[in-house]
Chain A
Amino acid sequence: MTNRDYDGQGPLIEGDHNLRSISETIGDIPFLKIKDTPKQWFIGALMAFGVLQLLFLCAGYLLFKGIGIWGLNVPVAWGFAIINFVWWIGIGHAGTLISAILFLFQQDWRTSISRFAEAMTLFAVACAGMFPLLHLGRPWLFYWLFPYPNSMGMWPQFRSPLLWDVFAVSTYATVSVLFWFTGLVPDVATMRDRAKNPIVKSVYGLLALGWRGSARHWHRYEICYLILAGLSTPLVLSVHSIVSLDFAVSVIPGWHTTVFPPYFVAGAIFAGFAMVLTIMIPVCRLYKVTDFLTDRHLNNMSKVMLLSGLIVAYGYALEVFFGWYSGNPYEQGMILNRFGGPYNKAYWALILCNIIVPQFLWSYKVRTNPVQVWIIAQFISVGMWLERFVIVVMSLHRDFTPASWDAYAGTKWDWGLYIGTMGLFMTLVFLFIRIFPMIAMFEVKEVHHKSQHGDHH
């Protein structure tokens, strides 16, 4: 029985699926025997784990020696660490957006991707969260940023955006974990029921919190999920807004601008969707669950990317416009430095990656071609990193007095730590694939049900 296109926007599930086959296709992945596990998983997981070691090495040496091993200097006192922090935090946003906002808007197409995206959120936040700690001059005193009662009688300084960051990111991480875990409960229960190994069964059983699938459970689950979705929704907007305030609150030309909060949020969604696509397209191919990642998903996600990309482009345009319109020579100098300064290649590459390349997404054919979408997603990921480079480094390296201007470049330790966090991210992704159903089975079943019976019950 083919799945109907019940809402006239293209099918959400392809192939001939029933409830059982859905459970089998998705839910059996964690139960795959070693010989059945795709070789690519081993290769990928091993590589990711190898790269993870780079993180340990770079972070270890950093703690031993001090952040002088990085390429920082006095005008450019923030570099890779902050770029990467913002980049990773941004990537996380897609997950929350997909699971919370699209849930509230009852966008059914989110079902196939929400679990994965949420997991990515967590992993990205884990990667992001490391940087603010490591970038401290004295990281062992990081807890001084928390308002805890202490013998010094000291409180953190509440006017600092870095402190807002602490609250924003920690709240975001907490809510994201809760939200992800809550959404996982029904599926974990399914896994518990399907698991054969008693130990595995009991672990899943523990995580399933005694889920029996009763109507009352479902009722409470739905209310709880709705509340969490409601809680998460403002967080999508707040976290990156607050991260952007790290810059916007300062006086540095290129940072001191009111457009940052919306522009950062759009950028985060932009980057987040690109990352979801970057990971999901190959993984779905690998595990042959492409039935649940249909043209419609690609199409919709591409559209979101295109839209958020346009907002970002508008942000860039505004920066340039206000640079000129302000009449402020420092702002003008900053814009001219972006256009023609020593790092102008980064700026023009950013324009290419974030504005020009995504315009291909206007074409339906491109939007539904996984390979092309994946390539565009790569451009966007790079472009969003460059955007943070442009904002952080290019604003700092030439600010007010030319006497203090200097150049900046990441050292091998900067790159090592950055690549290392990718190792951490990928390691977590590969573990996630092996442990939890990467697609929300019960939600897909619901969609399947709708597609069989229409959306009118």
Chain B
Amino acid sequence: MKTPKTSYADGPDSMNLVTMRKRLDALDLHRDHDLVASVEVPTEVEDFEVDRRDFFKIASGAAALAGLTACTKQPIEKIIPYVDAPEDLLPGRPLFYASSFTKDGYGYPVLVESHMGRPTNIEGNPDHPFGNGGTDIYTTASILDMYNPDRSQSVLRNGRSGATVSQFQATLAALRPAWDANKGEGVAVLIEQQSSPTLEKVIKAFSAKYPKASFYNHNPAQSTNAAEGLKKAFGKAVTPRYNLAKAKRILDVDANLLGHGAAMNQHLADWSSQRNLVEQAVVSDDHGAHGGGAHGDAGHAGDAGHESKGTHSAKASAGEADKQRGSWGDDGTHSSSHGAPMLAKADMNRLYCIETNYSITGAAAEHRLTATPSRIAELFKEIARGLGVAVAGQPLFQHVVAGGHAEVDLPSDSEYAEKFVTGVIADLKAHAGECVIALGERHSAELHAMAGAINKALGNVGQTVDYVPSSLIEFPNSGGDLTDLTKAIEGNKVESLFILDSNPVYSAPADLNFKSVLTGIVEPSEDDETKDDDKKPRGDDKKPEGEAKAEKASEPVDRKLALVMHAGLFADETAACANWHLPLAHFLEAWGDVRSPDGTYSSVQPLIQPLYSSALSLVELFGILADETGTSAADLVKETAASAGAEGDDAWQTLLHDGFIAGSAAKAASVRTPHENLFFVKSEDADEKDAPAVSGDTELEVLFEIDPAAWDGRFTNNAWLQEMSNPITTLTWDNAIAMSPQTAKDLGFADAKKGYPNRTAVEPKTSTIVLTVGDRTVEGALLIQPGHANGAITVTLGHGRETAGPLGSNTGYNAYTIRTSDNLWITKGTAVKGKGMHKLAMCQDHFQMQGRTRNHIRTVTLDAIKEDSHAVQHLGHKFPKEFTLYPPPEEMLTDSVQWGMTIDLTRCVGCSACQLACNSENNTSVVGRNEVLRGREMHWMRIDRFYENGGDPFRENVRVRTQPVACVHCENAPCETVCPVGATVHSNDGMNQMVYNRCVGTRYCSNNCPYKVRRFNYLQYYDYNGRSAQENMMQNPNVTTRVRGVMEKCTYCVQRVNAARIEAKKEQVREGLEELPLKDGAVITACQSACPTNAISFGNISDPESEVSKVRRLHDLTYGLLSEVNTRPRTLHLARILNWNPDVEAAPAAGHKSGPDIDEHGGDVKQGDEKKSHSDEEKSEVHGEKA
């Protein structure tokens, strides 16, 4: 698994011109020449006489010397062939290794692509039981952290490099006698939650040696409320595990099941498996085709499968399907042979969401209710009451009971809330035992107990919800959290502090003043380190030292804390306050193991030697702390794996190959029914605590969220994540203070005059907000977020770092500065307008569809499409019919492979994983905040997001529609005809190709692209000369990097296609086959591979049996985005089907069967745009007659 580093570093890769030039530059020849010229020539010139012979001597000498420049001394590099070549290692062919990426202690299964010993790309591990082979954005982007040139590269001692690990060991050795004597008293370890069994083992070993050493936990991104609440309800420490694959109804109360949390990918995969209309429709489709269509009726197609699929040949069914393909675009000419609706018996889950700020889950939900955190608590109690859990307090919606709402003056949003809650209660009751109630961790323990009680009461436990013991390590001699540590330090109970992979100086709650607690005690004067420092004083260091001393002087207490050690990937804020900083190894550089969120034992194996020799893994670090470095990390892991079930070499090899031990997931615990009177016991006072204290009108509820890009601050310096178009907001390189349009208006922000502003300036400016919580304030940019609850504000953690590196420092504001340890997630504060203006770099400036939603992001209800199978196609009716003389692509060139893609909007949630995966696979450039502000982001895959507010921009409950758009590889591509140099051309296999070398940069193709998916290198974004060696190593060697002035776009991952084709051709020749044996699934594009919900299909559309062909045949669902421009896209979108609950929200406009269609010009759902709907109806009637 480990590959000698020489394999790439000394290969031909490093001998390119750039490095040559760098080396020449490094030698600084110019300066030497200047020196010669200035010193020697003037003295010689006075009697400079030459005869002919001398002239030739000099001339030949000069010529010879000139040649010397070609003989510049190159650094000695050894090209050593492998003595024993690693198995399967062929130059130019990548290898894939299973491993696990660790975040917040949980492992995420990955397959890492390795090119000649350097990892280049991370994808999900499809065999692993956790997730679905997809990835999330953090997993994909984690590879950038390894190659990040800002990574900590050496041991720092008092902030200065040059120290070594052995020096640190010497320091520890000096302390060890004392530790041995008092069993480690005064030793404190601050660490994040962990689940690695090997780490647990070494921690136990350490603890066995120093039993009084205490462990403290700091997890800024985690909440303990759920654990506490469930312990209260069930009497044991458990965490909920939702099985959304079994759930018919899901109620997500601020939990963001699909967009946050350790098990997010599992949730996405399971949730999407219940929305796979493709599978359900394919059966009906085959059947309908077989039925000859003409006399097909709904009932007939319904009993699909009475005839085995095998009876009709693949060809026959394909032929039938081709006949039907009149609707491959959206011209609506559905052949009458179509038969019964494909989805007559389709079923899918239904997701309800109640939340404050817009999340991915809220966007994906069928019905979403906006509420402030305190209101959510009330609503949740109401739901609990409705579901038979006895909860104290008065019903919320008395008017419902009273039979009307005349006496209560309700705004329309409240009316919706009422219907929502009653509808949800009824629906959940009807699906008892097959629903899930999930509550967000930020809510109080009491509510979590209630959530447990509801799930138990509905009989979900054991069905859709399991309560499992936590797979996290229980640290021995646990001292508590950061608050306890602070107290311990202040109480002089800590002498040596080891901060492992945590950045508490940045992420500590503000009231702890953790930085000053730490910095009060730097530079212990009696240590020999200080003497060393005194010997070599440096001017730069004088001042901070002085400051530190001054601070120390201001500290009243003489602290005992003598040693602060920090270990991390980056020399961050905490490293700056520590005596020692040790670089940590990246997970791609180290041996280890971890438990995935479902508890499965997963391996972590290195793909490369640590880039920096002093980098250590946590396991190795504990070995050093415990002075037990005898066993290598690999052996330790092997031992652990053996005890976890992978005993013996074969099992070990299997573990490394598969990445996990099968069947090692955590087993569900049996839980009791909570005491009936649990929630009666709660007094009204306790309720009061949750209810908002009604005081001044500016008092707002403040919600802390983990930033979707920067997480809790650990990814702040990750350029891919920073430039990722943020889910929902599309914000990059920044965080903002989000509030609803109404709240912004109430607070007097001019930005909110028209509700959500369409950003029409080149670099739009927004107001800034000064947010005051208690006596702390923070200033950040205003983000008007439609769908945010009125009267609440959301701030995100993770930005505003000081020493995150050149990219991550000083982006946005630091919300930790107003976060206090008693109110970690929800608090109250006041907001006033700040002084300046701020530019928010968002990838999208227009969030409203201008009346185009119906056609672009087609959304229909499940009921509507069951009733009228053409419901999706009707949505395109206002556009002219598509016409072409050519047959559809799958018929055109059936003798060769024809590539095509489908994107299922029913399953897509807009999580951006595809965008990140595309970045990683295709070496797309990161352009930076300023360029994003100018609208020059380089994402090949963009995710459009639109708000539907029903014509009222101040409406609280708005919908979001998301849609991934990349190059759709038009059959009739507008870009191709206008390129004057033929730089973008069509391939035989139907791809719209971009020839970078041929491109001169007229940008006509981009102008003529209706999708605007082409990206142009306006500047030299890919910095050939300034790039660090690490960044060069990271690039995918199979993808050309693009120079300035060249257009680029999605290639359907042509490098993967070609790799598969080469393999297939080899097989073809070997086996003497007539056809190219390119199997379905041989090519998986980066976005497809990353997609956690399997929304993307890719393959050969001329093969009727391929997955993508089957999806394309679902004419009821597919449509070509903008195919009214006659582009004939190869990528088809599948309409978004919502399992609408008419009891919660009124069915879409009367007579308009196509589904929910609230768009900007369409007015409210109820009013609709009657004219439009009527004409649609008329058209469909006309169409019906024709049919």
A joins B in a complex = yes
B761 to chain A, nearest CB (A): 6
Does A250 lie within 8 Å of B1008, measured CB to CB? yes
8 Å CB contact of B977 from A135, A160, A341: A160
**Interface core residue of B945, B1002, B1127 (most chain A CB under 10 Å):** B1002
8 Å CB contact of A67 from B762, B845, B1018: B1018
A61 to chain B, nearest CB (A): 12
Does B1044 lie within 8 Å of A342, measured CB to CB? no
Instruction: Tell yes or no: B1033 within 8 A of A by CB.
Output: no
8 Å CB contact of A71 from B762, B852, B880, B1015: B762
8 Å CB contact of A145 from B846, B981, B1015, B1019: B981
User: Chain B residues near A135 (CB, 8 Å)?
Assistant: 1002
A377-401 vs B, Cβ < 8 Å mask (1 yes, 0 no): 0000000000000000000100111
B201 to chain A, nearest CB (A): 51
Does B1019 lie within 8 Å of A399, measured CB to CB? no
Known: A403-B944, A407-B762. A154 touches B980 (CB 8 A): no
Instruction: Tell yes or no: A162 within 8 A of B by CB.
Output: yes
8 Å CB contact of A402 from B848, B980, B1002, B1122: B848
A50-90 vs B, Cβ < 8 Å mask (1 yes, 0 no): 00000000000000011110011111111000000000000
Instruction: Tell yes or no: B431 within 8 A of A by CB.
Output: no
User: Chain A residues near B851 (CB, 8 Å)?
Assistant: 329, 333
Instruction: Tell yes or no: A170 within 8 A of B by CB.
Output: no
8 Å CB contact of A251 from B852, B1003, B1125: B1125
A181 CA / B1004 CA spacing, docked (Å): 35
Closest to B1125 in A: A251
Does B982 lie within 8 Å of A138, measured CB to CB? no
8 Å CB contact of A77 from B761, B1007, B1011: B1007
Does B852 lie within 8 Å of A138, measured CB to CB? no
Does A145 lie within 8 Å of B980, measured CB to CB? yes
In A157-208, which residues have CB < 8 Å from any B CB? 157, 159-163, 166
Closest to B1012 in A: A404
Instruction: Tell yes or no: B759 within 8 A of A by CB.
Output: yes
Does A329 lie within 8 Å of B1007, measured CB to CB? no
Closest to A163 in B: B980
Instruction: Tell yes or no: B889 within 8 A of A by CB.
Output: no
Closest to A76 in B: B935
Does A157 lie within 8 Å of B980, measured CB to CB? yes
Known: A78-B1003, A156-B982, A403-B844. A138 touches B1046 (CB 8 A): yes
A344 to chain B, nearest CB (A): 11
Instruction: Tell yes or no: B1158 within 8 A of A by CB.
Output: no
Instruction: Tell yes or no: B1167 within 8 A of A by CB.
Output: no
Does A252 lie within 8 Å of B980, measured CB to CB? no
Does A160 lie within 8 Å of B980, measured CB to CB? yes
8 Å CB contact of A137 from B982, B1017, B1122, B1127: B1017
8 Å CB contact of B1012 from A74, A144, A328: A74
Does A67 lie within 8 Å of B1045, measured CB to CB? yes
B215 to chain A, nearest CB (A): 48
B959-986 vs A, Cβ < 8 Å mask (1 yes, 0 no): 0000101000000001001111110000
B984-1021 vs A, Cβ < 8 Å mask (1 yes, 0 no): 00000000000000111111101110111011111110
Instruction: Tell yes or no: A148 within 8 A of B by CB.
Output: no
Known: A73-B935, A136-B1000, A409-B762. A402 touches B1016 (CB 8 A): no
A135 CA / B1014 CA spacing, docked (Å): 17
Does A71 lie within 8 Å of B934, measured CB to CB? yes
> Chain B: interface secondary structure?
loop
Does B1044 lie within 8 Å of A157, measured CB to CB? no
A157 CA / B1006 CA spacing, docked (Å): 16
Instruction: Tell yes or no: B946 within 8 A of A by CB.
Output: yes
What total of chain B residues lie within 8 Å of the partner, measured CB to CB?
Answer: 64
Does A137 lie within 8 Å of B1001, measured CB to CB? yes
8 Å CB contact of B852 from A75, A137, A329, A404: A329
Instruction: Tell yes or no: A226 within 8 A of B by CB.
Output: no
Instruction: Tell yes or no: B199 within 8 A of A by CB.
Output: no
A66 CA / B167 CA spacing, docked (Å): 50
Instruction: Tell yes or no: A362 within 8 A of B by CB.
Output: no
Does A159 lie within 8 Å of B977, measured CB to CB? yes
Known: A68-B1018, A154-B982. A329 touches B878 (CB 8 A): yes
Closest to B983 in A: A157
Does A136 lie within 8 Å of B1001, measured CB to CB? yes
Instruction: Tell yes or no: A218 within 8 A of B by CB.
Output: no
User: Chain A residues near B1007 (CB, 8 Å)?
Assistant: 77-78, 250, 252, 396
A329 CA / B963 CA spacing, docked (Å): 20
Instruction: Tell yes or no: A406 within 8 A of B by CB.
Output: yes
Instruction: Tell yes or no: B670 within 8 A of A by CB.
Output: no
8 Å CB contact of B1010 from A68, A399, A407: A399
A182 CA / B409 CA spacing, docked (Å): 88
> Chain A: interface secondary structure?
loop
**Interface core residue of B936, B1006, B1043, B1046 (most chain A CB under 10 Å):** B1006
A410 CA / B1007 CA spacing, docked (Å): 17
User: Chain B residues near A246 (CB, 8 Å)?
Assistant: 1004
Does B1001 lie within 8 Å of A145, measured CB to CB? no
User: Chain A residues near B849 (CB, 8 Å)?
Assistant: 402
Closest to B1161 in A: A329
Instruction: Tell yes or no: B856 within 8 A of A by CB.
Output: yes
Instruction: Tell yes or no: B1058 within 8 A of A by CB.
Output: no
Does A342 lie within 8 Å of B760, measured CB to CB? yes
A404 to chain B, nearest CB (A): 4
B1033 to chain A, nearest CB (A): 26
Closest to A164 in B: B980
In B1085-1143, which residues have CB < 8 Å from any A CB? 1122, 1125, 1127
**Interface core residue of A65, A67, A74, A141 (most chain B CB under 10 Å):** A74
Does A250 lie within 8 Å of B935, measured CB to CB? no
Closest to B759 in A: A407
Does A66 lie within 8 Å of B1045, measured CB to CB? yes
User: Chain B residues near A155 (CB, 8 Å)?
Assistant: 982
A208 CA / B1049 CA spacing, docked (Å): 56
Does A74 lie within 8 Å of B935, measured CB to CB? yes
User: Chain A residues near B571 (CB, 8 Å)?
Assistant: none
A413 to chain B, nearest CB (A): 12
8 Å CB contact of B936 from A68, A161, A400, A409: A68
Instruction: Tell yes or no: B1047 within 8 A of A by CB.
Output: yes
User: Chain B residues near A273 (CB, 8 Å)?
Assistant: none
Instruction: Tell yes or no: A142 within 8 A of B by CB.
Output: yes
Instruction: Tell yes or no: A408 within 8 A of B by CB.
Output: yes
Instruction: Tell yes or no: B942 within 8 A of A by CB.
Output: yes
Known: A403-B844, A403-B944. A66 touches B1044 (CB 8 A): yes
User: Chain A residues near B998 (CB, 8 Å)?
Assistant: 144, 154
User: Chain B residues near A364 (CB, 8 Å)?
Assistant: none
A249 CA / B1000 CA spacing, docked (Å): 20
User: Chain A residues near B852 (CB, 8 Å)?
Assistant: 329, 333, 400-402
A407 CA / B842 CA spacing, docked (Å): 12
A160 CA / B977 CA spacing, docked (Å): 6
A407 CA / B934 CA spacing, docked (Å): 8
Instruction: Tell yes or no: A42 within 8 A of B by CB.
Output: no
Instruction: Tell yes or no: A325 within 8 A of B by CB.
Output: no
Instruction: Tell yes or no: B879 within 8 A of A by CB.
Output: yes
Instruction: Tell yes or no: A321 within 8 A of B by CB.
Output: no
User: Chain B residues near A314 (CB, 8 Å)?
Assistant: none
A443 CA / B965 CA spacing, docked (Å): 64
B1025-1060 vs A, Cβ < 8 Å mask (1 yes, 0 no): 000000000000000000111110000000000000
User: Chain A residues near B936 (CB, 8 Å)?
Assistant: 68, 73-74
A87 to chain B, nearest CB (A): 18
Beyond the given A67-B1001, A157-B980, please list 5 additional residue pairs across the A-B interface where CB-CB is below 8 A.
Answer: A68-B936, A137-B1016, A159-B977, A402-B846, A403-B965
5 interchain pairs, CB-CB under 8 A: A66-B1020, A73-B934, A138-B1044, A400-B1125, A406-B845
Closest 3 pairs (CB-CB, A-B): A137-B1001, A137-B1045, A73-B935
B residues at A contact (CB < 8 Å): 759-762, 764, 844-852, 856, 878-880, 931, 934-937, 942, 944-946, 963, 965, 974, 977-982, 998-1004, 1006-1008, 1010-1012, 1014-1020, 1043-1047, 1122, 1125, 1127
